[in-house]
């Protein structure tokens, strides 16, 4: 079932066009990987899915991004609510300078949840879903900044999923992590897709191949090819896709 439908999407930074006529469908409760060389539009595109580009001066967007049958660029869209439903995890772990517990509870409190028992339940549930609870359960008052890089990234994932999003965007979530932490995040993504639709930007062909159901290949702000991951890697239709995944450029 389709979760996100993008059509005729053009994005400009001032006069410079960064995305050109992008069209892609993203399925519910799957992992969709965005691949392509640096500067090809992957991160720009992923930020169109929760309107993060609205924060960039001079950015102009044309086209449609439909999530749950609603065009998120409609003037009536509640952007704060959108970013609750479409959570984001960034390349570099960015926990707040507060306790592990409060990192996860912060957004819940912003939503008006004040009851301590309810907060406890939601925080613990999010930490469990992020595969972090067993490692921190005796130390929830410790600073989020005291955790290792991989734990910090899982804390950021817990913070996102505490708000019960429907979509989780991940912009190279493992690029700053060691191989063991990367493996834990990949295993976590595999588990999370049972409940969430995940879109991930990755520079790693191996990672895209391991964890994604669908792969989208970007080049120079355009989608060259989009298909099931096994098709993209085993039988791509476009020579540029074949050249890229075989390391001939990028």
Residues 194, 188: Cα–Cα separation, whole Å: 11
Q: Where are the beta strands (DSSP E) in the chain?
A: 2-13, 16-27, 31-35, 59-67, 70-71, 86-89, 167-171, 197-201, 214-219, 222-228
> Going edge to edge, which strands form the sheet with 86-89?
86-89, 167-171, 197-201, 31-35, 214-219, 222-228
The size of the chain, in residues, is 250
Cβ neighbours of residue 206 under 8 Å, at least 6 residues apart? none
**Confidence (pLDDT) at 1:** 86
Say how far apart CA 28 and CA 70 lie, in whole Å: 15
CA distances from 120 to 124, 125, 134, 211, 243 (A): 6, 8, 15, 31, 50
pLDDT at 104: 98
Query: How far apart are the C-alpha atoms of 213 and 197, rounded to whole Å?
Result: 11
Identify the pLDDT of residue 180. Answer: 94
Structure confidence by residue, pLDDT tens digits, 94-151: 999 999 999 999 999 999 999 999 999 999 999 999 999 999 999 999 999 999 999 9
Predicted pLDDT at 250: 78
**What pLDDT score does 116 carry?**
97
The Cα 32–Cα 2 span in angstroms is 12
Q: Which residues in the chain land under pLDDT 50?
A: none
Tell me the pTM: 0.95
Write 127-132 long-range contacts (CB < 8 A, 24+).
127/100, 127/155, 127/158, 129/158, 129/161, 129/191, 129/192, 129/195, 130/154, 130/155, 130/157, 130/158, 130/161, 130/188, 131/184, 131/187, 131/188, 131/191, 132/158
Question: Based on C-alpha coordinates, what's the Rg of the chain?
Answer: 18
Tell me the C-alpha distance between 25 and 3, whole Å: 8
Query: What per-residue confidence (pLDDT) applies to 194?
Result: 96
- What's residue 62's pLDDT? 96
Q: Which helix (H) or strand (E) holds 101?
A: helix 100-110
């Amino acid at each position: 079932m389709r979760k996100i439908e993008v059509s005729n999407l053009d994005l400009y930074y001032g006069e410079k066009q960064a995305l050109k006529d992008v069209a892609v469908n993203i399925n519910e409760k799957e992992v969709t990987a965005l691949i392509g060389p640096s500067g090809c539009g992957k991160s720009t595109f992923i930020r169109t899915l929760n309107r993060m580009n609205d924060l960039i001066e001079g950015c102009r967007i044309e086209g449609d991004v439909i999530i749950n049958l609603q065009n998120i660029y409609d003037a009536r869209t509640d952007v704060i609510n959108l970013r609750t439903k479409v959570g984001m995890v960034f390349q570099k772990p960015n926990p707040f300078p507060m306790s592990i517990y409060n990192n996860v509870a912060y957004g819940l409190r912003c939503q008006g949840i004040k009851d301590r028992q309810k907060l406890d339940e939601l925080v613990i549930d999010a930490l469990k879903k992020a595969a972090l609870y067993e490692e921190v359960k005796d130390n929830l008052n410790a600073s989020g900044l005291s955790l290792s890089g991989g734990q910090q990234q899982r804390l950021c994932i817990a913070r996102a999923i505490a708000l019960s999003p429907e979509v989780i965007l991940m912009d190279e979530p493992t690029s700053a992590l060691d191989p063991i932490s990367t493996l834990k995040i990949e295993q976590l993504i595999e588990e999370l897709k049972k409940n969430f639709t995940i879109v991930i930007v990755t520079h790693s062909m191996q990672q895209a191949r391991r964890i994604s159901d669908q792969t989208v290949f970007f080049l120079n702000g355009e989608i060259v090819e989009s298909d099931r991951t096994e098709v993209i890697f085993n039988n791509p239709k476009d020579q540029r896709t074949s050249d890229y995944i075989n390391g001939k450029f990028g």
